[in-house]
Amino acid sequence: MTSDRLLSIEGLRVDLPSRSGSRERRTVIHDVTLSVDDGESVGLVGESGSGKSMTTKATMRLLPPGAKVSGGLTFRGESVLDYSRKELAAYRSRKVSMIYQDPRAHTNPLLTIGDFLVEGVVATGQMSRADALDQACALLVDVGVTDAERRMLQYPHQLSGGLLQRMMIVMALMPSPELILADEPTTALDVTVQSEVMAILAEQIRERSLGMLFITHDLDLAAAVTDTLAVMYAGVIVERGPSDEVYSKPRHPYTAALLKSRPSAVKVERLETIPGRPISAYEAGPGCVFAARCPFATEECREVRPALRQVGGRSVACHRAEDIASELFEGLSA
């Protein structure tokens, strides 16, 4: 069933060496299971240090040396973890594209935009330079850049952040990939530019019916642009399901607490906070990763790690998902 999935991650676990050179390892991802189909946008939401970016890095096999990866990671049924060097290069350069959080850091300041956009596809022999330049121009127009030819001759420092991020979108689309990994693509941008860039990205993805794994800490944004939402905490996916369902009726205490702690556009009141501090994956005990901060936690929660199970049309990793459902909805509708 999962064999023809675009991207399928099953029980992914990643351990990194705690210091370079030492044998001791720290777990950064405990257990991530999610999948992306063709034309599907999946949002991966979580706070800093929850393992979102590590998940994308693992997907690209970009983990630092010494990292230990277990679990399944398949692309169209082929195990990415078993790819040879050559297959991996093709996978990275043609099938999956990445859009980064900070476009300025991800461009070589000494290359013009034109050189930067076409370099990848030309160097990997996918297109001639002339064809690539034509396509880059066409794509620039697609993402709403009016004077494409002039922009191609400019250097990164001459472009605004929003414009540069659109260049990154174009670069990601150049090799006609099947999957886009967007790692907080709008976080580094101005709020007003954010929505514009996001709209362009979502439109391009939809038009080409590409799969997208969208990493963000902005639950509202993720719910607005994705079909499926996965909420991550301390290296574990705690809830996964259709975006509108998860967003309107959370079944995991963490998701509910996140939704309650957003500022309201209409009411002025003190924000609700989640007690305690966010923990890193390696600090999690044997029980539920959220147990220490969860108002509903029982003895069982502290001792037995809950697995993802089907509750109310989505997967939830909570022992008490059924019992506390009504309490979670409370205060959300207001």
Partner 1 sequence: MSTLTARLSSRRTRTGSVDKVVLVFGTVCGFLILMAVFGPLLAPHPPSQTDILATSQGPSGQHLLGTDSLGRDILSRLLAGARLSFLGPGIIVVVSATAGTALAIAAAWHGGWLDRGLNRVLNVMFAVPGILVAVLAAAVFGAGFWAPVLALSLVYIPYVARVVRSAAVRERRMPYVEACELAGLSAWRICTRHILRNVFPIVMAQATIGFGSALMDFGATSFLGLGVQPPSAEWGLMVSDGRSELLDGALQQSLSAGALIVLTVVSFNIVGERLSSRIGASG
Nearer to partner 1, 210 or 246 (CB): 210
Please give the full DSSP string across 304-328, using - where no structure is assigned.
Answer: SPPPPEEETTEEE--TTTTTTHHHH
Contact 14, 69 (CB under 8 A): yes
Residue type, 311: V
Q: Is beta strand 68-75 parallel, antiparallel or unpaired with respect to 7-17?
A: antiparallel
- Binding of partner 1 by 102 (CB under 8 A): yes
- Binding of partner 1 by 94 (CB under 8 A): yes
Q: Which stretch binds partner 1 (CB under 8 A): 104-112, 194-202, 233-241, 258-266?
A: 104-112
Of how many residues is the chain composed?
334
Q: Which stretch binds partner 1 (CB under 8 A): 3-11, 22-30, 100-108, 203-211?
A: 100-108
**∠ CA(200), CA(230), CA(67), 5° rounding?**
100
Residues 110, 265, 266, 268: which binds partner 1 (CB under 8 A)?
Answer: 110
- Binding of partner 1 by 98 (CB under 8 A): yes
Contact 309, 317 (CB under 8 A): yes
Cβ of residue 83: shortest distance to partner 1, in angstroms? 13
Cβ of residue 108: shortest distance to partner 1, in angstroms? 5
* Binding characters for partner 1, 123-142, by CB under 8 A (x = yes): xx------------------
Please give the full DSSP string across 222-270, using - where no structure is assigned.
Answer: HHHH-SEEEEEETTEEEEEEEHHHHHHS--SHHHHHHHHTSPPSS---P
209 is written with which tokens? 């019916």
- Binding of partner 1 by 107 (CB under 8 A): yes
- Binding of partner 1 by 64 (CB under 8 A): no
- Binding of partner 1 by 280 (CB under 8 A): no
Residues 37, 119, 142, 227: which binds partner 1 (CB under 8 A)?
Answer: 119
Contact 206, 174 (CB under 8 A): no
* Binding characters for partner 1, 154-183, by CB under 8 A (x = yes): -----------------x------------
